[in-house]
Amino acid sequence: MSGTRKKALLKVIILGDSGVGKTSLMNQYVNRRFSNQYKATIGADFLTRDVNIDDRTVTLQIWDTAGQERFQSLGVAFYRGADCCVLAFDVTNAASFKSLDSWRDEFLIQASPRDPDHFPFVLLGNKVDLEAQRAVSSKRAQSWCQTKGNIPYYEVSAKEALNVEAAFLAIARDALARESQVR
Amino acid sequence: MYEHPGNTTEQEKNLDNSIRIVKAESFEMKRCLDKGKTMDALKHALQMLNEMRTAELSPKFYYRLYMDSMHELQCLEVSLVQDFSSEPAKLVNLYECVQYASSIIPRLYLLVTIGGVFIKCGLGSRKEILKDLVEMCRGVQHPLRGLFLRNYLMQCTRSVLPDFPETEEMLDVHNSNLPKGATKLKPRDGTVEDTIEFVLINFAEMNKLWVRMQHQGPSKEREKREKDRLELRILVGTNLVRLAQLEALTEDMYVKDVLPSILEQIVSCRDPISQEYLMECVIQVFADDFHLATLNEFLAACAQLQTEVNIKILLIALVDRLALYTTSSIEGGAPTKMKLFEIFSEQATSLIKSRPEMPVDDIVALHVSLVSLAVKCYPDRLDYANLTFQGLRQVIEEKAITEIEAFGKVGRELTKLLNIPVDEYKNVLRLSELPEFIKVMRFFDYRGQCNISAYMIQNMLEEETILRTQENVDAAFELISPLLKDQENQPENSHDTEEFIDEQNLVARLLHLIRADNVDAQFLLLNGVRKVLGEGGRYRLRFTLPPIVFELYRLVLQFAEMKEEDEKWDAKIRKMFVCAMGTIGALVSSAELAELPLKLYLNGAITADRVPFEDNHTVVYEFVSKAMSIMEDDVSDSRDRVRCLQLTVGTLLKTTHLPHENWEPLAIQTVLAAGKMFKKPDQVRSLVTAAALYWHGQTLNTDGQKMRNGKKVVEILKRSAKIAKECLEPIVQQQLFIMLISAYTYYYEDKCPEINVDHIEELISLTQDNSVQLDVSAEADSLEKQLGEAIRRLQLAKLDVAAAQQTSPPEPDLPQPPNENEGL
């Protein structure tokens, strides 16, 4: 068996405040389903989905995490070995946007990636279907991304499956490109 | 348990060692996989998993080791699925080989992994494999290792658990990604019921391991073990998350099977840590609809929990969650909402009964949630809120608690509770429809009752809650009654506190919210309120009565415009003044105040003078004379007296409707009072002030003109000049002289014919002589300058007067009063 045929396994972590829709984003991407009901996540859990990128099959291992600290009693060991970190916030909830800095810092401290300045982050602004209630403008999110070394920003809606597919595909592509650089 | 719980550095070292081995073995494993040597790869995997047998790591460190190992197992799984999906039958060999591995931990991790691969490749019965795996895990009875193994089982099987029955379409995505030649996956067996059973077994086993952990090891390490247990809790909770994630789990299944099993496990384990955590997990992970459908069952289970469990936290979490849901969801209409409150209310009551040792602050906190639910979700059902307050009242009465401290534990909860309807209704008057509210409020100590009363007034001011009727006033006053009169539980010195002053000021502001629909009704309200406030005691009256007086004056001015509309207009206005007079009188007699009522009288005099009702001058006279009596009898401080006299003069100068025979005694009395000041300089200043009455004063008899009685003015000025000469202190005398020069000049400028310039100049030269003798000082300098100014002003005035005499027709020379020079 030749090495190139081997599937790559990419570990992606979704972080963000409680209620921004981390589980919904993962569910929409992996299962193409959405539920309006709020159910808290405990600890961390993943789902996988295979994607084809340039003739290569990549298994995305997407980690959904608890936004509430009390549901992380064992710490955040699941950050280890992540290939990409997806930061999520709710565009109708300004506080969830404000927390992004601390989520990013926390990740860099706990995961201690080899090259923290260039570790791939992606920012997802969820719930854009609720445009009328928007509290964080696209411009504001983009300028935050610029200050963090041009993090890619996607406005998505897990509910309407808007942009979710494209965002995760870009995430996979980016992480894969970096992985092959490292190896 | 880890048998040698070393310190953190040691743990780090042990973890590093283990992780090094995991890396090395997994590296070898992947190399073998790349070469297609699956058996060898599995041997390395077993070597790697040997590290999971360690007893040296505490939960958090073990979790890190577990995460790294699991990552490698995932790589193994991905590779195996890829390699065997075309010929899954070969997997059976692997499975059998692994079964011969000697250590149970590595063996079970691998068997679980391969079991997952079986299912992913569509080999064998999904249902049976899951059942086997969960049974096999019973082989590990060590709590820490067992919990992690079972957590791995849950993680590994997550994506293959039977949910909705599988169809060809559901597998399309999977099959379309398979490499060429691979066997397409067929729909697999198993139903959501199988999954439920599988997860519930795992849940029960994990909970048992978790609960048992506290009994393992020496009792002196108990505290540390409890800490470890708390860290491990999320592993147990994950099972509930898994159930909540099932798409095919219906409400019916949840009600009939799932929740009863979970609750049975929680209740029967009899462990407070487990119970409190898992109950909260149930609240958090399952959907709102499910909770609404099982409220009774859930709450009944709450009642069966160990007494150490903090039920309050659970109930509050549930109520808050459902309150949010019912208020936010559009479809959360009548049917779902209907019973929610009743159920909570009943269950909370029986829970409190069944737990006599429950702390009172917890009981009150529970009611905070209940009232919040009642008020926010059922804004029209005031009876619900009332019922809750009633329930709390009964509990507090049974416990014979009184005088709850405002800032104690219970008091803080009680404050929260009472503030809810105030904040939510935005109309304090609605609280009168909650008769139990006030009864609960009365359990507070004096400070607590005052605080909540003040909070209500603030709300009324912010919301501009108008008191339109007697009922409104009564309702509001009932609620804030602790602020209106002395209370039995009031501390001795409470009148001296800042809080007291702030609160009375609030009451004063509240009075301005009294606004009846018409003048008559407003008068009745004010009159009634005055009587209630009159009982407030001397310390409150000074704050509460003046607003009433001002409101009465405001009413007079409002009514003044309506003469044509009311045939009893004159009488009514008079009545308003009588009422005001009585109110001010109370400030003198009961509150023993002087300057404040004096000002109010004077204010009333001006008001009466402005409104042309019949014989309004009698009111003006009465009010001014009453003000002057206060000055005579009750103002003892000389500075205060001077100020009061100035106010009186100012008031008299503003009145125009007194007949001369009434004006004169007031003016005479004023001059008399001025001359009777205790200190000579005060006499001089007051006389100069009073002199203005005879120049600027107006009466009914002056035909709209000013009095211009120059003779009287000069007489008073002369008198004061005489007194000024008697002052011994040079600086003070100098000040008085300069003031007199200015006064003379003023009247001279204003063309008072009785003023003789020579007298002024004489006074100036006297002052100049004096100033040479003054000691050098900044004050003397300043007086020198003032004198210069006064002289310059006189020069200008002389020029003006001369110019006027040239342009206007000559006036007859006024006779010079004799002995003019004597006084100077």
Q: Does B625 touch chain A (CB under 8 A)?
A: no
**A7, A39, A43: residue with CB nearest B286:** A39
| Terminal-residue alpha carbon distance, chain B | 111
Residue B4 clears pLDDT 60, i.e. is over it: no
Q: Does A4 touch chain B (CB under 8 A)?
A: no
Residues in contact with B547: Cβ distance below 8 Å, sequence separation at least 6, in sequence order: B508, B509, B511, B512
Q: Which of the residue ranges A67-76, B200-209, B393-402, B509-518 would you say has the lowest mean pLDDT?
A: A67-76
CB pairs under 8 A between A and B: 93
Residue B169: predicted pLDDT? 84
Neighbours of B45 (CB within 10 A): 28
Could you read off the pLDDT of B714-728 as tens digits, one per residue? 999 999 999 999 999
* Residue in the structure block whose two tokens are 């002389």: B798
**A41, A46, A74: residue with CB nearest B63:** A74
- For residue B519, the SS3 value is helix
Q: Does A133 touch chain B (CB under 8 A)?
A: no
- The answer to whether B84 and B124 have CB atoms below 8 angstroms apart is no
> Mutate which of A18, A48, A71 to disrupt the B interface (most B C-beta within 10 Å)?
A71
Contact B237 A40 (CB under 8 A): no
Structural tokens at position B224: 């540390």
Give the distance from CA A135 to its chain's centroid: 21
**A38, A57, A81: residue with CB nearest B71:** A81
Contact B78 A7 (CB under 8 A): yes
Residue B820 clears pLDDT 70, i.e. is over it: no
Contact B241 A39 (CB under 8 A): yes
A 75-114 → B contacts, CB under 8 A:
75, 77-78, 80-81
- Closest residue on chain A to B66 (Cα): A77
**A33, A57, A75: residue with CB nearest B177:** A57
* Chain B residues within 8 A of A52 when measuring between CB atoms: 177
Q: Which of the residue ranges B12-16, B201-205, B320-324, B539-543 would you say has the lowest mean pLDDT?
A: B320-324
CA dist B485 and B480 (Å) reads 10
Q: Does B23 touch chain A (CB under 8 A)?
A: no
Could you read off the pLDDT of B404-437 as tens digits, one per residue? 999 999 999 999 999 999 999 999 999 999 999 9
Q: Does B710 touch chain A (CB under 8 A)?
A: no
* Chain A residues within 8 A of B239 when measuring between CB atoms: none
Nearest-CA distance from B36 to chain A in Å? 7
Confidence (pTM): 0.74
One-letter identity of residue B747: Y
> Mutate which of B177, B281, B318 to disrupt the A interface (most A C-beta within 10 Å)?
B177
Per-residue pLDDT, averaged over B770-775, amounts to 87
Residue B79: predicted pLDDT? 92
Residue B355 clears pLDDT 90, i.e. is over it: no
B133: buried, middle or exposed (CB in 10 Å: 19+, 13-18, 0-12)? buried
Q: Does B245 touch chain A (CB under 8 A)?
A: yes
One-letter identity of residue B383: D
Could you read off the pLDDT of B550-576 as tens digits, one per residue? 999 999 999 999 999 999 999 999 999
* Chain B residues within 8 A of A40 when measuring between CB atoms: 284-285
Q: Does A37 touch chain B (CB under 8 A)?
A: yes
Residue B816: predicted pLDDT? 45
For the domain covering A3-182, report its CATH number.
3.40.50.300
**A3, A33, A81: residue with CB nearest B34:** A3
Q: Does B571 touch chain A (CB under 8 A)?
A: no
Could you read off the pLDDT of B236-275 as tens digits, one per residue? 999 999 999 999 999 999 999 999 999 999 999 999 999 9
- Residue B464: phi and psi, rounded to 5, are 50, 55
**A1, A41, A78: residue with CB nearest B34:** A1
∠ Cα B255 B325 B287 (to 5°): 35
Alpha carbon separation from B60 to B228, B585, B818 (Å, rounded): 8, 78, 112
Contact A42 B241 (CB under 8 A): yes
Q: Does B116 touch chain A (CB under 8 A)?
A: no
* Chain A residues within 8 A of B237 when measuring between CB atoms: 42-43, 71
Category of A9 on φ-ψ map: left (φ > 0), alpha (ψ -120 to 50) or beta: beta
Structural tokens at position A163: 């942009």
Q: Does B58 touch chain A (CB under 8 A)?
A: no
HSE (side-chain half, CA atoms, 13 Å) at B25:
23
Residue B1 clears pLDDT 90, i.e. is over it: no
Q: Does B309 touch chain A (CB under 8 A)?
A: no
Contact A42 B240 (CB under 8 A): yes
Q: Does B227 touch chain A (CB under 8 A)?
A: no
Contact B158 A47 (CB under 8 A): yes
B 756-815 → A contacts, CB under 8 A:
none
**A35, A39, A77: residue with CB nearest B63:** A77
What is the ipTM score, two decimals? 0.92
Q: Does B251 touch chain A (CB under 8 A)?
A: no
- Closest residue on chain B to A37 (Cα): B287
Nearest-CA distance from B467 to chain A in Å? 38
Contact A43 B289 (CB under 8 A): no
**A6, A7, A77: residue with CB nearest B67:** A77
Nearest-CA distance from B135 to chain A in Å? 23
* Sequence-separated contacts (24+) of B766-770 with Cβ below 8 Å: B766/B737, B766/B824, B767/B734, B767/B737, B767/B738, B767/B741, B770/B730, B770/B733, B770/B734, B770/B737
CA dist B62 and B49 (Å) reads 12
Could you read off the pLDDT of B594-632 as tens digits, one per residue? 999 999 999 999 999 999 999 999 999 999 999 999 999
Q: Does A179 touch chain B (CB under 8 A)?
A: no
- Closest residue on chain A to B71 (Cα): A81
- Closest residue on chain B to A77 (Cα): B64
H-only helix segments in B294-354:
295-303, 311-328, 334-338, 340-354
Alpha carbon separation from B313 to B268, B310, B774 (Å, rounded): 20, 6, 82
> Where do the domains of chain B lie?
1-249, 267-444, 737-824
DSSP β-ladder status, A84-90 and A56-65: unpaired
Tens-level pLDDT at each residue, chain A (183 residues): 334 456 688 999 999 999 999 999 999 999 899 998 889 999 898 999 988 888 888 899 999 999 888 889 999 999 988 999 999 999 999 999 999 999 999 999 999 898 888 899 999 999 999 999 999 999 999 999 999 999 999 999 999 999 999 999 999 998 888 776 654
Alpha carbon separation from B399 to B387, B391, B393, B439 (Å, rounded): 19, 13, 10, 15
Q: Does A1 touch chain B (CB under 8 A)?
A: yes
Average pLDDT of chain B, as a whole number: 91
Nearest-CA distance from A49 to chain B in Å? 9
Contact B237 A72 (CB under 8 A): no
* Residue in the structure block whose two tokens are 């416990």: B399
In 3D space, the residue among B273, B287, B367 whose CA is nearest the CA of residue B319 turns out to be B367
Residues in contact with B488: Cβ distance below 8 Å, sequence separation at least 6, in sequence order: none
* Chain B residues within 8 A of A35 when measuring between CB atoms: 287
Could you read off the pLDDT of B636-690 as tens digits, one per residue? 999 999 999 999 999 999 999 999 999 999 999 999 999 999 999 999 999 999 9
**A48, A71, A77: residue with CB nearest B159:** A48
Q: Does B50 touch chain A (CB under 8 A)?
A: no
